[in-house]
Amino acid sequence: MADLKIVIIGGVAGGASAAAKARRVNESAEITMFERGRYVSFANCGLPYYVGNTIVDREELLLQSPGKFWKRFRVTVKVQHEVLSVHPDTQTIMVKDLESGEMFVVPYDKLILAPGAGAIVPDLPGIDAKNIFTVKTVPDSDAIKKFLTDHPSQIAIVVGGGFIGLETAEALMNLGLKVTLVELTPQVLPAFDKDMASLMTQHLQGKGMEIILGDGVHIFHTNDGLAHEIELCSGTRLPCDVVILSIGVRPELKLAKDAGLHIGQSGGIVVNDSQQTSDPNIYAAGDAVEIAHLVTGKPTRIPLAGPANKQGRVAGANAAGGSLTFPGAIGTAIVESLGMIAAKTGLSEREAQAHDYDYFVSVTHPLDHADYYPGAESLHMKLVVEKPTGRLLGAQIIGEQGVDKRIDVLATAIVGRMKVEDLEALDLAYAPQFNSAKGPVIMAGFVAANILRGEVQIITGDELEKKLQSKVPLQLLDVRTSNEYHETHIPQARLIPVDELREHLDELDPTKETVVYCRVGLRGYLACRVLSQHGFQTVSNLTGGILSFPPE
């Protein structure tokens, strides 16, 4: 092992993790890392916060340098060196020094590919304007900050409503710019279900962000090399001083394809659980790799820092002679914009449908901690549950505080293949400033388990909307208070407060399909239990209550 030559292509999360772990496993190996950019390891998730001056010190983004890598790990790091080709037959790579232009051949015994993914930049008229940027690298962020310094700006357009788009939009608003966010799909946060994403949209609009959904960019109109107006596919024209593109990333696959490595159906490099590619001497990690989804078991790409770091660790260990495995991931992610937090883990309802699961959803709106302790805020929680088994398939949470720890509990439950009945029995920390005795996760478990056991039938906002539009004859009951009802209610609904329901049973038709709702679902559940035990044949509770209706 003393003569083992390990070569790593790419730094940042996957490559840097691989290099450090390879050294910890094998002190004698010769380890060399080539990085095309100027920085070997940086916090790309922190870039929007650097743009918005939340992170002021640029050096905080630079996690490692070539000098630090050599001093601590004895890893030779060559930045601004681009690997042009990989030759598995001779176990060599061709490298170009981007500063000098020199090209040279480097042999390897084990190779680790960590090329990552590049920001998608569509080929549109005017796309090369000097005030159109992406937020993928440190130089990207430097360029945005320099432009805003040199060109005082008032109007910003952010194209793309995913995680980076929302974070960058917040950063620009914090700098005092008027921001319009344009998203091609009908919702922000395309990975979420529309009913949950709409909560984020409402919040951002309430904070002054203009949001245009279901429309894409057609042309950038330029003058003197600067975009001054964006024309959308709908014909809408938007003035702009600066434009940020955040429409996704595309895996860097050229080296892998040219080397003859297998590429999967999801568009990533195929690896086994040791991160080994179709060539036994080549490993791969990070955003360019296809991994197993731990819920579906099917191959997918999850371009997130957490999985990339773990994959790099496994690839580095095994290339150096170790024996680690990476089982897969479930895509747990979280984002905050203008004070609202959105988190997702596992499958969305839309994804469950796409994978043909027999499932149901449960929506709850608990407070993040005890209501009698000051400062409690609502959490909006949606569970996706497998019908036959009760296994938790996915979860989404929107709220202003306490989102992170709940999504992590639910992510752990999904990886552990727990059922919603298991959530009922969780023993979680409670003090009034942190949680409730029946905390949000436990309460979500109670509600979902009640549905699973058949104690209550539920109807989603989407399903109720379709019934109302189709004029299905319904007995629609609002079981809130009179004041709540007169403030807002669903058309056709009859008011009977839950505390008065038993006195009005003879006014209702027990043979008619009945839908009950309240504000968040609890009083509706109680009403359903009363009705079902008094002979009402078909009774459903609107899951999540009127807060989840209308669905958009």
What would the pLDDT profile of 3-59 be if each residue is shown by its tens digit?
A: 899 999 998 889 999 999 999 999 999 999 999 988 887 777 888 888 888 888 887
**335, burial (CB in 10 Å: exposed 0-12, middle 13-18, buried 19+):** buried
**What's 111's DSSP letter?**
E
Q: State residue 552's pLDDT score.
A: 54
Element (DSSP H or E) covering residue 386: strand 379-386
- Between 3.50.50.60, 3.30.70.2520, 3.90.480.10, 3.30.70.360, what CATH number should domain 132-247 receive? 3.50.50.60
With CA atoms as reference, report the closest residue to 396 among 233, 191, 242, 252: 191
**CA dist 393 to 396, 427, 454, 481, Å?**
11, 21, 19, 35
CA distance 90 to 69: 28
The rounded radius of gyration (Å) of the Cα atoms in the chain is 27
Q: Is the peptide bond before 139 cis (omega within 30 degrees of 0)?
A: no
- Tens digits of residue pLDDT in 274-310: 999 999 999 999 999 999 999 999 999 999 999 999 9
Report pTM. Answer: 0.94
Contact of 243 with 132, CB cutoff 8 Å: yes
Cα distance between residue 443 and residue 107, in whole Å: 58
Give the pLDDT of residue 2: 56
Indicate the pairing of strand 237-239 with strand 226-232.
Answer: antiparallel
The secondary structure of 43-72 as a DSSP string is -GGGHHHHHTTSS--GGGGEEE-HHHHHHH
- Report the relative pairing of strands 5-9 and 30-35 from DSSP bridges: parallel
Give me the phi and psi of 143, to 5 degrees please: -65, -40
In sequence order, which ranges of 185-275 are alpha helices (DSSP H)?
Answer: 194-206, 254-258
Measured from the Cβ of residue 486, the count of other Cβ atoms closer than 10 Å reads: 10
Helix H or strand E segment including 363: strand 359-364
pLDDT 10s digits, 90-123: 999 999 999 999 999 999 999 999 999 989 999 9
- Is 211 in contact with 204 (CB distance < 8 Å)? yes
| The pLDDT value given to residue 58 | 82
With CA atoms as reference, report the closest residue to 334 among 166, 529, 458, 143: 166
The answer to whether residue 45 is catalytic is yes
List residues bridging with 346 in a β-sheet. 394
Query: Which region holds residue 120: left if phi is over 0, alpha if psi is between -120 and 50, else beta?
Result: beta
- 475 near 513, Cβ under 8 Å? yes
How many Å apart are CA 545 and CA 519, to the nearest integer? 5
At the topology level, CATH places domain 339-452 in: FAD/NAD(P)-binding domain (3.50.50)
Residue intervals of the chain classified under CATH 3.40.250.10 are 457-548
Ranges of the chain whose pLDDT falls below 70 = 1-2, 551-552
The sheet carrying 103-107 orders its strands as: 81-87, 92-97, 103-107
Contact 230, 217 (CB under 8 A): yes
Sign, CA torsion 46/165/167/177: positive
Helix (H, G, I), strand (E, B) or coil at 307: helix
Here the tokens at position 268 are 């990533």
In angstroms, the CA 532 to CA 465 distance is 23
Residues 6+ apart with CB under 8 A from 422: 413, 445
Which one from 45, 233, 518, 528 is the annotated catalytic residue?
45
Superfamily of domain 5-118+250-319: FAD/NAD(P)-binding domain (3.50.50.60)
Beta carbons within 8 Å of 418's beta carbon, 6+ residues apart: 391, 392
- Region(s) of the chain under CATH 3.50.50.60: 5-118+250-319, 132-247, 339-452
Q: Round to whole Å and give the CA distance between 196 and 193.
A: 6
Q: Residue 8's closest CA among 246, 283, 194?
A: 283
CA distances from 127 to 155, 168, 194, 227 (A): 18, 19, 30, 8
Average pLDDT for the chain = 95
CATH 3.40.250.10 fits 457-548, yes or no: yes
CB of 30 within 8 A of CB of 5?
Answer: yes
Element (H, E) at 329: none
Q: Tokens 């159906």: give the residue.
A: 265
pLDDT at 551: 59
d(CA 347, CA 355): 9
Q: Which residue has the tokens 């479930």?
A: 330
